[in-house]
Amino acid sequence: MDRLQTESVLLEPLTRDDFPWLFVLYADAEVMRYIGHGPRTEEESRKNLEWLLGHGERLPFGYWVLRDRAGGERLGGAVLMRRREGTPVELGFMLARPAWGRGLATQVAQALVVHAFADLVLPELQAFTDVENTASAAVLRKAGMRDAGLCPGPYGGIDRRFELTRDDWLLQRSSIARLPNMR
Ligand SMILES: CC(C)(COP(=O)(O)OP(=O)(O)OC[C@H]1O[C@@H](n2cnc3c(N)ncnc32)[C@H](O)[C@@H]1OP(=O)(O)O)[C@@H](O)C(=O)NCCC(=O)NCCS
The alpha carbon of 180 and the centre of ligand 1 are apart by a number of angstroms equal to 30
32 Cβ inside 6 Å of ligand 1: no
Helices H, strands E: what count in the chain? 5, 8
Q: If you average pLDDT over residues 45-60, what whole number do you get? A: 97
| CA dist., res. 143 & res. 164, Å (int) | 10
Tens-digit pLDDT profile for residues 5-49: 999 999 999 999 999 999 999 999 999 999 999 999 999 999 999
52 Cβ inside 6 Å of ligand 1: no
The alpha carbon of 95 and the centre of ligand 1 are apart by a number of angstroms equal to 9
Identity of residue 68: D
Given a contact cutoff of 8 angstroms between Cβ atoms, the answer to whether 88 and 120 are in contact is no
Query: What total number of domains does the chain contain?
Result: 1
Identity of residue 77: G
What is the residue range of 41's domain?
Answer: 4-178
To the nearest 10 degrees (0 to 180), the angle between helices 19-26 and 42-58 is 120
65 Cβ inside 6 Å of ligand 1: no
Tens-digit pLDDT profile for residues 106-151: 999 999 999 999 999 999 999 999 999 999 999 999 999 999 999 9
Confidence at residue 181, expressed as pLDDT on a 0 to 100 scale: 66
**Distant-in-sequence, close-in-space partners of 41: CB < 8 Å, separation ≥ 6:** 27
22 Cβ inside 6 Å of ligand 1: no
Note whether residue 125 is domain-resident: yes
Note whether residue 183 is domain-resident: no
Picking from 73, 82, 96, 128, the residue whose alpha carbon sits closest to that of residue 27 is 96
The alpha carbon of 1 and the centre of ligand 1 are apart by a number of angstroms equal to 26
Note whether residue 129 is domain-resident: yes
Instruction: Using the predicted structure, report yes or no on whether residue 182 has a pLDDT greater than 70.
Output: no
Query: Mean pLDDT across the chain, nearest whole number?
Result: 96
- Beta strand pairing call for 146-152 and 158-165: antiparallel
Confidence at residue 80, expressed as pLDDT on a 0 to 100 scale: 98
Instruction: Using the predicted structure, report yes or no on whether residue 179 has a pLDDT greater than 80.
Output: no
Note whether residue 101 is domain-resident: yes
Note whether residue 169 is domain-resident: yes
Confidence at residue 42, expressed as pLDDT on a 0 to 100 scale: 98
Tell which atom from ligand 1 comes closest to the C-alpha of 109.
12
β-partners of residue 163 are: 126, 146
102 Cβ inside 6 Å of ligand 1: yes
| CA dist., res. 6 & res. 90, Å (int) | 20
